[in-house]
Structure 1
Amino acid sequence: MGINLITQEGMEILQKELDFLWRIERPEITQKVTWAAGLGDRSENADYQFNKQKLREIDRRVRHLRKRLEVLRPVPYSPQQEGKVFFGAWVKLVDDEDNTLFFRIVGADEIAHHQDYSSINSPIAKSCLGKEIDDEVYVQTELLKKRWYIDNIFYGAPELVKEKIIAAKEK
């Protein structure tokens, strides 16, 4: 479940990355490879070897992004989601000792560079789905089972809910 879901913001980020790699970075590296190849013996040419490897990495990432973008399905926000935890929700959890946990439920393709994002396939996200504020949530992992309470839920892109995020973290 959820393997091909992505937020609209996540979809735009992946499309921008693909565009940057294909239109800007790849042509620059291709030009460097062509220049370095013109210097002669490629087997001992560090510039050629380095940039050729970089070009392979770019091409691998471009292929991956194109394949993923074909199958990813952006999940739009719906006002009916308000008050319950669904895909794209920002969730603040509190435990019995007043420890807090704050995260957004997103697709697996979005979590790489975000500490406060959790994949919809993660145990914590799965345990929160469909819940409301003040509901108990039991998170079961291989190491422990812990009880949390849903303290806050809201929706929106990070830049649109920045004030809510800050307020939720400070409570």
Structure 2
Amino acid sequence: MSKAFTKETDHDDEDGDDAGLPPLPAGGKNYITPQGYARLRAELLDLMDNERPKVVEAVHWAARNGDRSENGDYLYGKKRLREIDRRIRFLTKRLDIAEVADPSVHHGSDQIFFGARVTYAEESGAERTVTILGIDEAESALQQVSWIAPVARALLKARQGDVVRLVTPVGAQEIEVLSVTYPEPAKD
């Protein structure tokens, strides 16, 4: 059978729109800070208004160059277009269900809620500082953890000075909350 009559498969699409990302808890909300929401929205708008039209134009140009089965520009462009469309679908879904929570409303509080920057001491004496954010915005390299992460779950609702139990794959340990801070409210 000629390749012209075979269906082009989307091997990358088999994993779904949010492959590799943590799922939302069943019945849970997709909490996100106003800054995180703005970043995701800006990414979505950039993909739709800038990146996608450029790739569509490149694919259109490559398609006019003849045999598509051996046209690298065309094949790469189609693949990139699928990636962009998958990311657009993902961002649209996540932004639709996002629950924007401003952590600055807790400024001055010593209790841990979403958006808190928490310093805690482990049993070993090591101190760690993490910021509890939404699953779509937390970056571990920046000492940010998702609110559904085990350490965040253990810390939520605790107060400065409390000792909480953290269950990890290597066993349970107690951690002590040393400090809790929130960003200052925006000045008008």
What are the Cα deviations for residues 108-127 of structure 1, in whole angstroms up to 9, with x where unaligned? Answer: 11125754111111111111
Determine if the alignment matches structure 1 residue 87 to structure 2 residue 114.
Answer: yes
Q: Distance in 2 between matches of 1:29 and 1:19?
A: 15
Match of 2:47 among 2, 10, 21: 21
Determine if the alignment matches structure 1 residue 105 to structure 2 residue 132.
Answer: yes
Match of 1:123 among 118, 125, 150: 150
Paired positions, count: 158
- Residue 131 of structure 1 deviates from its aligned partner by 1.1
Give the RMSD, CA atoms, in angstroms. Answer: 2.0
Match of 1:58 among 84, 93, 99: 84
What are the Cα deviations for residues 115-152 of structure 1, in whole angstroms up to 9, with x where unaligned? Answer: 41111111111111111111112100232111111111
Q: Percent identity?
A: 34
Q: 4+ runs of 1 displaced by more than 2 Å?
A: 95-98, 111-115
Contact 1:85 1:130 in 2 (8 A): yes
Give the TM-score normalised by the residue count of structure 2: 0.77
Tell me: CA distance 1:42–1:113, structure 2 relative to 1, closer, same or farther (3 Å).
farther
Q: Distance in 2 between matches of 1:113 and 1:85?
A: 19
Please list every run of 5 or more consecutive structure 1 residues that lacks an aligned counterpart in the other structure. 161-171
Q: Given residue 7 of structure 1, which amino acid in structure 2 is its aligned partner?
A: T
Tell me: CA distance 1:120–1:58, structure 2 relative to 1, closer, same or farther (3 Å).
same
